[in-house]
Amino acid sequence: MIAYLGRRVLAVAGVLLVICAVTFIIFFVLPSDPALHACGKTCTTEQVDAVRAEMGLDRPVHEQFAGYVAKAFTGDLGYSYQNSLPVWDLLADRLPVSVSLALGAAVLWLSGGVLVGLVSALRRGTGLDRVLMAGTLASASVPVYFTAMMLLLVVVQHFELLPYPDYVAITEDPGAWAGNLLLPWLTLASLYAAMYARQTRSSMIETMGEPYIRTARAKGLPERTVVVKHGMRAGLTPIVTIFGMDLGGLLAGAVITEHVFGLPGIGQLTYDAIFKADQPVVLGVTLLAAFFITVANLVVDLVYAVIDPRVRYA
């Protein structure tokens, strides 16, 4: 196990290095000039050249990349071109918002999606199954920004059931924290829950047709035991895989949801950084997203053996 973890940690470092290199190279292919954005439109050519030299953009590309990687793996992600603040401080300031958004939505979509998919699989071919699958198809077909705007229009403006979302730290007021994030949670959950419901249904139908399920029933085990202990543990293995990927990605920011609801998270920071060609911030966010996804994959691999005994025996 220790050797396995060591190999996976090295793989994570390699993935981060490749992603960093690809993102870094893209910035030298795009025509945008970070020095011009940082200096402003009124700057002269001499002033732009001075800013470029101060940023180190006049050095060869390989020197810039080598210096960035050496600092990045020690926690130094550089400074923003726009406000000269450390990139890590900007990420740390926005991260609680994105983590709150991702975790809250994940609880909703995982519990709701798995429950709907399980009920649909156990009632396969019935009217309830068709209604549930039609609802999930409709939910998955609606764009996130449309769902967000409809929730704001109906819940906030028309019925005034909730205030317009304004992030409040959970340490300050847990009730206000949950109330202000409820609509963003529902927006993300409506999309992901639909996909999880369909995946759960498909996986459970396949699992419940396995020979060991028939054997368990032939032994006279209660149907609840057959479904929960033998069916769900194996049938939900694919759900764990996609859940790790989805949660890892959302921890680095949900750009559209944060932008529509005005939440100051990583996604909003990414949007502003791309628009202003703030290379250090974009690189920092990219590395953060890659880190979350690769770590989530590592955790998923370790959880497999707990959920499905067949993996442990293999």
Instruction: Examine the pLDDT at 144 and tell me if it is beyond 90.
Output: no
Average pLDDT, integer, range 1-29: 76
Query: What letter represents residue 53's amino acid?
Result: A
Chain centre distance of CA 21: 22
Residue 206 has pLDDT above 60, yes or no: yes
Q: What is the pLDDT of residue 104?
A: 92
Reply yes or no on whether the pLDDT at 40 is more than 80: no
Q: For residue 49, how many other CB atoms are within 10 A of its CB?
A: 15
pLDDT at 28: 64
Within 10 angstroms of residue 85's Cβ, the number of other Cβ atoms is: 12
Q: Tell me the pLDDT band of 30, cut-offs 50, 70 and 90.
A: low
| Integer Cα distance of 263 and 269 in angstroms | 10
Cα distance between residue 222 and residue 153, in whole Å: 48
Residue 157, number of CB atoms within 10 A of its CB: 9
**Residue at 226: amino acid letter:** V
- Alpha-carbon gap, residue 231 to 276, rounded angstroms: 51
Let me know: does 271 contact 263? Beta carbons within 8 Å.
Answer: no
What is the predicted pLDDT for the residue at 291? 84
Residue 107 reports pLDDT greater than 90: yes
- Most confident among 10-24, 94-108, 212-226 (mean pLDDT): 94-108
Place of tokens 């011009």: 36
Q: Give the distance between the most distant pair of CA atoms in the chain.
A: 85
Instruction: State the average pLDDT over residues 29-44.
Output: 70
Average pLDDT in the chain: 83
Q: Which pLDDT score, from 0 to 100, does residue 1 have?
A: 61
The owner of tokens 């396949």 is: 206
Query: According to the model, what pLDDT value does residue 131 have?
Result: 93
The 10s digit of each residue's pLDDT in 286-300 is 888 888 888 888 788
List pLDDT tens digits, range 218-274.
888 888 888 888 888 777 888 888 888 888 888 877 888 888 898 898 988 988 888
Confidence of residue 177 (pLDDT cuts 50, 70, 90): very high
Task: State residue 262 phi and psi, 5-degree precision.
Answer: 70, 30
Among 209, 204, 248, smallest CA distance to 99 is for: 248
Q: What is the pLDDT of residue 35?
A: 73
